[in-house]
Amino acid sequence: MKNPLNKLIVPLMALFVFLNSCNQDKQNENKETAKNEKLVSAWEDSGEWVQKLSLSPDKVIRNATWGQDMMSLKDTLELAETQPEKGKSYTLYFDDTDLNFSDITYVANEENKIEEINFDIFVDSADDVQPLIDQWKGYLDVKFGPSEVKGKSILWTKNNNTRILLENVSTPKDPGIKISFKAVH
């Protein structure tokens, strides 16, 4: 004797699998949305200088991506006085004093693709260094995962594509920090 329920088992199983898959997709979408909202919030809370330097929470930093062709770089800042052998360097002034500024250097590989972005940030007062470090750390911890503090350096190594080193490079005459973003191959 054939049971009429046997004919319903296959379609019911297929429906169950389909609904479960849709539920998983919705959960993943909700997690991604929450993560993006947290990142945007951290960027908005990071302070004026971090926002001016990073431009947005999109892409790696300054709307650039690893492997992007240097020719496609669309930075509107003025070129720095000294230029690297491979890449381009720009200067961003935070005010009219010429004491608060950052040199931003895009380093290219042999194929002229971006593989490193460095910020040399100089501030007028040594009192401005630690708050700036704290603002960067708060933002980068959300964007790239938890950091490790090693002496005067902070490292981000959890992200599969990017390694970051933030250092307090202050001298008595020139207070400031250096941040290096490097592609992981």
The model's pLDDT over 62-108, given as tens digits with 9 standing for 90+, comes to 999 999 999 999 888 989 989 998 899 999 999 988 899 999 999 99
Q: Are strands 78-79 and 87-93 parallel, antiparallel or unpaired?
A: antiparallel
Q: What contacts 86, CB < 8 A, 6 or more positions away?
A: 107, 108, 109, 112
Q: What contacts 176, CB < 8 A, 6 or more positions away?
A: 120, 121, 122, 123, 129, 169, 170
pLDDT at residue 35, as a whole number? 82
pLDDT at residue 105, as a whole number? 96
Tell me the whole-structure pTM to 2 decimals.
0.82
